[in-house]
Structure 1
Amino acid sequence: MSESASIDDPDRAQRLALQPFEVRASRFLSLILRHDPGRVGLTLDPAGWVGVSDLLAALAACGRPLTRAQLDLVVERNDKQRFAFDPTGTRIRASQGHSVPVELGYEAAEPPALLFHGTHPQALDAIRAEGLRPMNRHAVHLSPDAGTATRVGTRRGRPVVLTVDAARMSADGHRFRVSANGVWLTDAVPPEYLGQCIRP
């Protein structure tokens, strides 16, 4: 959510402020829907979906119960919109970030001229030498603006933000996709496409 959205709609900003139990639930859902569905006895379908009723039953069985209303709140209030329901509201999946095999089905898209990647200073030398690689994920995640990339980078301490020449990458044949929550995905970013380092 942007700062302007908070200013224009303060009630929505308050509504979207995660409560502690919602933060815990969101983190556990990320673990289950991105990395380890078997931990609660679930299997994702090839596109990463799982039935909402199956998810709620599995969470209850492992001692982490959520009601459907609480799940709806976690999905709505998540600042990065990590999760999405299908159009029927009967299935849920993580929007991106999986380490388990899934094919999310996002179509190729033309990126903006610049994209951004938030990281931490200790990673800069390796990134400058090797570029950005997906590591244990399916794709490299890029942000559409420096503010979002900064927030991503703060997860490991003081962030740094790298610019990515997405226009040149696209012109050179690199494929981009954009997730349901606005994260740009690509297989890798070779070092020659990395630009300036912003230190917020």
Structure 2
Amino acid sequence: MTEQQKKTKSKFLSYILRHDPASIGLELDSQGWADVNVLLQKAGKKITFDEMQEIVATCEKQRFSLDTTNNRIRANQGHSISVELGLQPQEPPEFLYHGTASRTIQLIKTDGLKKMSRHHVHLSLDKEMATKVGARHGFPAILTIRSGQMHRDGYLFYCSDNNVWLTDAVPVKYIEWA
């Protein structure tokens, strides 16, 4: 599978497992898991089991998880549909980072970071990953989030299976501007 094919198939899995399983007639359980055989059957020739395994194993952002039997798959975070990932609140590091397009900075300076159509705001452990995330949306802007202070002030944080930190919102007062 070429890198372009892998990217296309990964985007397909993201769309199906995070946003619209019904578009191929797939149902997820309450925790976002899909039966692998059903997914592959409903996906037709868009993806094979071996391609799916390769994507799960090699995706830099570790967007997906297979269960220990390789019978179920789910997205680790980023859902716009209702799922319960079973994440428990955790104490975050003192600082986390958020990558966004530079064109959104003025709005963020007014409203802070909001989850928009997703379940949470996504935060990265390091500036490198935040830069990659921000670059997907245009020229990247990296924000430093005072997550430790937010946590001490009562905000909840969760860490997904692929080490993306999640919170409901980030008020402006916790954002450091570069």
Q: TM-score range by the shorter chain?
A: over 0.9
Contact 2:102 2:138 in 1 (8 A): no
Structure 2, unmatched stretches of 5+, are none
SS in 2 for 1:156: coil
Q: Deviations over 1:82-125 (max 9, x none)?
A: 10012222100000000000011111111000000001111001
Query: What does 1:179-198 align with in structure 2 at a 5 Å threshold?
Result: 179-197=160-178
Residue 19 (str. 1) matches residue 7 (str. 2): no
Letter in 1 for 2:39: L
- Checking the alignment, whether the CA contact within 8 Å between 1:18 and 1:77 is kept in structure 2 is no
Q: Offset at 1:69?
A: 1.2
Letter in structure 1 aligned against 2:15: L
1:56 to 27, 40, 44: 40
Q: Does 1:149 align with 2:133?
A: no
Aligned to 1:28: 12
**Equivalents in 1 of 2:106, 2:62: separation in Å?**
31
Distance in structure 1 (CA, Å) of the matches to 2:68 and 2:154: 33
Structure 2: which amino acid aligns with 1:67? T
- Corresponding residue to 2:25 among 20, 41, 45: 41
Once residues 106 and 56 of structure 1 are traced to their aligned partners in structure 2, the CA distance between those partners, rounded to angstroms, is: 27
Shift of 1:67: 2.1
Q: Tell me which amino acid in the other structure corresponds to 1:57.
A: Q
Identity of paired residues, percent? Answer: 46
Superposition CA RMSD, Å: 1.2
Match of 1:9 in 2: none
2:154, 2:87 → 1: CA distance? Answer: 17
C-alpha distance in 2 between matches for 1:187 and 1:68: 34
Residues in 2 aligned to 1:180 and 1:119: alpha-carbon distance in whole angstroms: 22
Is 2:157 the partner of 1:176? Answer: yes
**Consecutive aligned runs of 4 or more in structure 1 exceeding 3 Å deviation:** none
| Structure 1 alignment gaps of length 5 or more | 1-16
TM-score normalised over the length of structure 2? 0.97
After TM superposition, the structure 1 = structure 2 runs for residues 14-163 of structure 1, keeping only pairs within 5 Å, are 19-60=3-44, 63-64=45-46, 66-163=47-144
Q: Aligned partners of 2:120, 2:13: CA distance in 1, in Å?
A: 20
Name the structure 2 match of 1:11: none
Q: Which moved more, 1:130-139 or 1:79-88?
A: 79-88
Other structure's SS at 1:105 match: coil
SS at structure 1 position matched to 2:81: coil
Cα offset, 1:22, TM superposition:
1.0
